């Protein structure tokens, strides 16, 4: 809704006035920061002068120590106040050219005068008048802007709910310090503004969405009542964006007791981590810890010498199917194993195993130097099980480690003596006695230290051996399954034989890694990281029940936000709970998450509106999953996706190169050519490379995201988006199996503005209208 010229004039004046105020404050803060910096330098200098002066005189040592402690205290305080000033300065510098983006006029119940609330990225109080010139978008009252159309409205403060009436909702576009546009909005947050945001070309990195957060998204961002928040959101519905703004919100709301180190985000790969890495800094917050599950597993198994398979290699195996001459029986054996090992039933078996091991059965390994065994596995076992079984395993392990360390101390002393005697006896050592003592001490230390390290890291427990027992010993597995109220899987013998064979080759397949790490954690009693208070899992559909049980154990004090889209679940293991492998997402799958998290306070929120793609692309992608979650496209129109058949590979490459060029000429800053597998990517890259100079090949190890023209397997594009997507070969020879449907859907939904599909032979049946 356009506003009157006069009012617009007033708004422009206010922008200028607020900006002037901010600039002034920036100047003051700059001076304060400089002053504090020079004070700090002076104190630092005096500190060292004091030490050098006083330390010359032995009598002054005590006095020096006292003065050092005191000065250090002053130094810490001074550093803190410098960083406060610098923080405030940085925040204002970031917003000075665009101080706010919205205004609401709100009259609280019982009040006579409405209040004008201006909302921006950070709050700003006029230091002279104490007037709040800008409210932070995360302040309680700002939620009215996101949640309500003009009319009755309520917002929640920590103390109470405040009701009133929203009289006006206004949005501003302020660039380089000048008001460019201002308009009043009605029902939802300016479709106009959202249209503008979504029509732009995809940026180098993900952008923040604070100016246009939608009501249903705001509900997720500000939820702090539930321990587990599950978000099922359509492709492009803003799950990742919401996750990041939520982290910023929590950091603001709990700023006195929560910092970025208390939060962890699990993302699908390093490329994605890089892609989203600037959102929080843009919002003035530090980045949370970000990792991939794979990195976590690798970290947990580091030091064991075991290398685990990458999830993408597992996926490649699944996608390759039996097409490349792979033995059908072997393929099926592994597929059955993947499903079983991700299931809640197998989790119960491992839990039962953990219970049993409390009283007997932990496999210990000997402590030996070369062939000489210092402490036998039996001694360790005896010692461990001599403690009451009511004591937690972790405590008993800790005692055992302490005991081993004591034994090793004695052994080290003994070894040292022997080294010394040997030196004395052998004429080739010609040192003084203290020298020989020092040498023998150091040699003994070198010999025993690795053993001590093994003791400290509980590397004397043979978790892999115990995991193998689970498969080599059918009666054990059967007994555990029964005690957990489960049955052995129907294809047990196949799974059993396959697993033992692979483990004996020294390979840890991806499907074995989490159960193994879980078991390891149970027997070592070291499965907890208490500092994490919020754990956010993006692409949550790609995690199995096992993963969730593990995360819950790992972060016992954390609240969880799990964001996913079952329609994009491309990993077989992830579907194991509902047994819908390859099919469309079923709402029933959520129940299992709350069950697994063992939390009553679980809330599931659905996001059905998709913002990324044009209406035409979203509708096109929806036909790939006829029974998928409903998706409501945001009303932004573009050209319909184009389907082009090529006669052969040479023509395919030529057509694709021309399509890329067309998109680039049309202004697309990012164009992605998506293939099915690594193999197909390699082949396509070889053909297209000469036709498209500068074509970037994206690998699973790629760490940095850079806009431009790129080629990759579709699964690596998860979570990302591009101005234009080109599907390399959408033929029936490539996409036909039900397990490939979701991957195909994921690929199509990466496109913001243009989607071009090419194919050889027949078109994929996923696009045949029913």
Ligand X SMILES: Nc1ncnc2c1ncn2[C@@H]1O[C@H](COP(=O)(O)OP(=O)(O)OP(=O)(O)O)[C@@H](O)[C@H]1O
Beta bridge partners of 302: none
Among 99, 164, 236, 569, interactor with ligand X by CB under 6 A:
236
* DSSP conformation letters of 185-205: --SSS-HHHHHHHHHSPPPSS
Question: Smallest distance, Å, CB 212 to ligand X?
Answer: 4
Q: Which is nearer to ligand X, 540 or 578 (CB)?
A: 540
Q: Which is nearer to ligand X, 213 or 495 (CB)?
A: 213
Strands 609-610 and 632-633: parallel
What is the spatial distance between Cα 65 and Cα 319, in angstroms, rounded to a whole number? Answer: 67
Whether 761 has a binding-site annotation, put simply, is no
Among 239, 341, 363, 573, interactor with ligand X by CB under 6 A:
239
Q: Considering only the stretches 213-221, 290-298, 305-313, 388-396, report the one whose residues sit in contact with ligand X under the rule CB under 6 A.
A: 213-221
What is the spatial distance between Cα 463 and Cα 642, in angstroms, rounded to a whole number? Answer: 53
Q: Which is nearer to ligand X, 511 or 538 (CB)?
A: 538
Q: Which is nearer to ligand X, 123 or 232 (CB)?
A: 232
Beta bridge partners of 168: 105
Q: Which is nearer to ligand X, 347 or 607 (CB)?
A: 607
CA nearest to 372, candidates 446, 448, 305:
448
Q: Report if residue 118 touches ligand X, rule: CB under 6 A.
A: no
Q: Report if residue 749 touches ligand X, rule: CB under 6 A.
A: yes
Question: Smallest distance, Å, CB 233 to ligand X?
Answer: 5
Question: Smallest distance, Å, CB 746 to ligand X?
Answer: 7
- In 185-312, where do the E strands start and end? 228-233, 263-266, 289-291
CB 585 within 8 A of CB 541: yes
Cα 586 to the center of its chain, rounded Å: 24
Tell me the backbone φ, ψ of residue 124, rounded to 5 degrees.
-145, 125
Whether 236 has a binding-site annotation, put simply, is yes
Beta bridge partners of 102: 119, 171
Among 122, 212, 267, 290, interactor with ligand X by CB under 6 A:
212
Long-range own/partner contacts, residues 687-691 (CB < 8 A, 24 or more apart) = 687/649, 687/650, 687/652, 687/653, 688/653, 688/656, 688/657, 691/653, 691/654, 691/657
Q: Report if residue 218 touches ligand X, rule: CB under 6 A.
A: no
**Interface mask (CB under 6 A) for ligand X, residues 610-639, using x and -?**
-xx---------------------------
Half-sphere exposure of 368 (CA within 13 A, CB side): 9
Whether 240 has a binding-site annotation, put simply, is yes
Q: Which is nearer to ligand X, 282 or 479 (CB)?
A: 282
Strands 696-697 and 289-291: unpaired
Q: Report if residue 569 touches ligand X, rule: CB under 6 A.
A: no
Question: Smallest distance, Å, CB 534 to ligand X?
Answer: 18
What is the spatial distance between Cα 301 and Cα 308, in angstroms, rounded to a whole number? Answer: 8
Q: Considering only the stretches 152-160, 238-246, 436-444, 461-469, report the one whose residues sit in contact with ligand X under the rule CB under 6 A.
A: 238-246
Whether 751 has a binding-site annotation, put simply, is no
CB 498 within 8 A of CB 341: no
CB 607 within 8 A of CB 593: no
Q: Report if residue 585 touches ligand X, rule: CB under 6 A.
A: no
CB 288 within 8 A of CB 260: yes
CB 719 within 8 A of CB 538: yes
What is the spatial distance between Cα 441 and Cα 427, in angstroms, rounded to a whole number? Answer: 19
Whether 432 has a binding-site annotation, put simply, is no
Chain residues 549-568 in contact with ligand X, contact rule CB under 6 A: 565
Q: Which is nearer to ligand X, 514 or 670 (CB)?
A: 670
Intra-chain end-to-end CA distance of the chain, in Å: 43
Question: Smallest distance, Å, CB 168 to ligand X?
Answer: 21
Q: Which is nearer to ligand X, 214 or 270 (CB)?
A: 214
- Nearest 5°: the CA angle 104, 106, 108 is 160
Q: Which is nearer to ligand X, 375 or 540 (CB)?
A: 540
Q: Report if residue 25 touches ligand X, rule: CB under 6 A.
A: no
Among 120, 164, 190, 238, interactor with ligand X by CB under 6 A:
238
Indicate the residue whose CB is closest to ligand X.
238
H and E: helices and strands count for the chain: 25, 23
Cα 335 to the center of its chain, rounded Å: 27
**Interface mask (CB under 6 A) for ligand X, residues 171-210, using x and -?**
-----------------------x--xx--------x-x-
Is residue 681 within a helix (H) or strand (E), and if so which, with residue range?
helix 678-688
Q: Report if residue 420 touches ligand X, rule: CB under 6 A.
A: no
Among 54, 214, 577, 602, interactor with ligand X by CB under 6 A:
214
Question: Smallest distance, Å, CB 574 to ligand X?
Answer: 14
Whether 235 has a binding-site annotation, put simply, is yes
Question: Smallest distance, Å, CB 241 to ligand X?
Answer: 4
By CB under 6 A, how many residues form the interface with ligand X?
A: 23
Among 164, 284, 719, 731, interactor with ligand X by CB under 6 A:
719
Question: Smallest distance, Å, CB 253 to ligand X?
Answer: 20
CB 664 within 8 A of CB 691: no
Chain residues 372-411 in contact with ligand X, contact rule CB under 6 A: none
Among 122, 217, 219, 294, interactor with ligand X by CB under 6 A:
217
The tokens describing 750, both together, are 């990466």
What is the spatial distance between Cα 569 and Cα 103, in angstroms, rounded to a whole number? Answer: 40
Q: What residues contact 248, with CB distance under 8 A and at least 6 apart?
A: 138, 208, 279, 280, 283, 284, 285
Binding-site annotation, residues for ATP: 233-240
Residues at the contact surface with ligand X, assessed by CB under 6 A? 194, 197-198, 207, 209, 212-214, 217, 233, 235-241, 565, 611-612, 719, 721, 749
């Amino acid at each position: 809704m356009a506003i009157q010229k006069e009012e617009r004039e007033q708004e422009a004046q206010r922008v200028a006035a607020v900006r002037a105020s901010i600039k002034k404050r920036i100047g003051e803060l700059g001076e304060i920061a400089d002053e504090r910096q020079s004070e700090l330098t002076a104190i630092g200098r005096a500190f060292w002068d004091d030490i050098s002066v006083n330390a010359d005189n032995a009598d002054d040592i005590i006095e020096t120590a006292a003065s050092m402690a005191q000065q250090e205290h002053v130094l810490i305080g001074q550093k803190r106040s410098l960083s406060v000033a610098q923080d405030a300065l940085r925040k204002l510098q970031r917003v000075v050219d665009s101080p706010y983006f919205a205004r609401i006029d709100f009259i609280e119940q019982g009040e006579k005068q409405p209040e004008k609330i201006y909302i921006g990225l950070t709050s700003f109080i006029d230091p002279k008048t104490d007037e709040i010139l800008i409210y932070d978008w995360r302040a309680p009252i700002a939620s009215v802007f996101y949640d309500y159309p003009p009319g009755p409205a309520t917002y929640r403060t920590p103390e109470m709910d405040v009701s009133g009436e929203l009289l006006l909702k206004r949005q501003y576009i302020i660039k380089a310090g000048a008001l460019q546009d201002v308009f009043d909005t009605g029902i939802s947050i300016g479709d106009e503004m959202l249209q503008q945001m979504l029509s732009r070309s995809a940026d180098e990195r993900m952008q923040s969405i604070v100016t246009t957060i939608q009501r249903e998204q705001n509900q997720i961002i500000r939820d702090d009542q539930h321990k587990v928040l599950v978000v099922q959101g359509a492709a492009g519905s803003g799950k990742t964006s919401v996750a990041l703004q939520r982290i910023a919100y929590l950091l603001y709301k709990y700023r006195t007791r929560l910092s970025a180190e208390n939060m962890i985000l699990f993302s699908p790969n390093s490329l994605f981590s890089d892609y989203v890495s600037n959102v929080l800094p843009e919002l003035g917050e530090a980045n949370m810890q970000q990792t991939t599950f794979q990195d976590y597993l690798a970290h947990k198994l580091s030091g064991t010498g075991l290398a685990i398979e990458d999830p993408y290699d597992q996926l490649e195996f699944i996608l390759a199917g039996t097409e490349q001459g792979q033995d059908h029986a072997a393929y099926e054996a592994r597929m059955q194993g993947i499903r079983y090992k991700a299931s809640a039933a197998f989790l119960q078996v491992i839990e039962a195993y953990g219970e049993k091991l409390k009283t007997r059965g932990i496999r210990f390994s000997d402590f030996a130097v070369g062939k000489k065994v210092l402490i036998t596995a039996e001694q360790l076992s005896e010692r461990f099980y001599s403690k009451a079984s009511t004591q937690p395993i972790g405590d008993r392990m800790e005692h055992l480690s302490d005991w081993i360390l004591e034994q090793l101390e004695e052994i080290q002393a003994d070894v040292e003596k022997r080294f010394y005697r040997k030196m004395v006896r052998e004429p080739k050592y010609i040192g003084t006695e203290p020298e020989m003592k020092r040498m023998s001490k150091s040699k003994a230390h070198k010999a025993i230290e690795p053993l001590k390290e093994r003791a400290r890291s509980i590397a004397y427990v043979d978790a892999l051996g115990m995991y193998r027992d689970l498969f080599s010993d059918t009666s054990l597995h059967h007994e555990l399954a029964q005690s957990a109220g489960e049955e052995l899987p129907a294809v047990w013998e196949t799974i059993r034989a396959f697993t033992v064979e692979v483990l004996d080759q020294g390979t840890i397949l991806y499907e074995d890694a989490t159960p193994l790490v879980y078991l390891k954690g149970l027997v070592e009693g070291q499965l907890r990281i208490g500092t994490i208070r919020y754990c956010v899992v993006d692409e949550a559909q790609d995690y199995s029940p096992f993963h969730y049980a593990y995360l819950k154990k790992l972060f016992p004090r954390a609240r969880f936000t799990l964001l996913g889209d079952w329609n994009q679940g491309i990993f077989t293991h992830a579907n194991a709970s509902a047994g819908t492998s390859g099919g469309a997402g079923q709402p029933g799958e959520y129940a299992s998450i709350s069950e697994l998290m063992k939390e009553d306070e679980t809330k599931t929120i659905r996001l059905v509106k998709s913002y990324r793609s044009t209406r035409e692309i979203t509708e096109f992608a929806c036909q790939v999953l006829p029974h998928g979650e409903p998706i409501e496209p945001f009303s932004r129109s573009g050209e319909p996706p184009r389907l082009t058949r090529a006669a052969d590979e040479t023509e395919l490459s030529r057509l694709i190169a021309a399509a890329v060029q067309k998109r680039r000429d049309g202004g697309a800053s990012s164009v992605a050519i998506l293939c099915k597998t690594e193999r197909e990517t390699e082949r396509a890259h070889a053909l297209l490379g000469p036709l498209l100079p500068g074509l970037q090949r994206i690998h699973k190890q790629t760490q940095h995201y850079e806009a431009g023209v790129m080629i990759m397997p579709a699964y690596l594009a998860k979570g990302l988006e591009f101005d234009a997507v080109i599907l390399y070969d959408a033929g029936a020879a490539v996409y036909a199996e039900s397990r490939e449907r979701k991957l195909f859907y994921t690929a199509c939904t990466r496109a913001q503005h243009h989607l071009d599909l090419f194919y050889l032979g027949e078109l994929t049946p996923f696009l045949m209208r029913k």
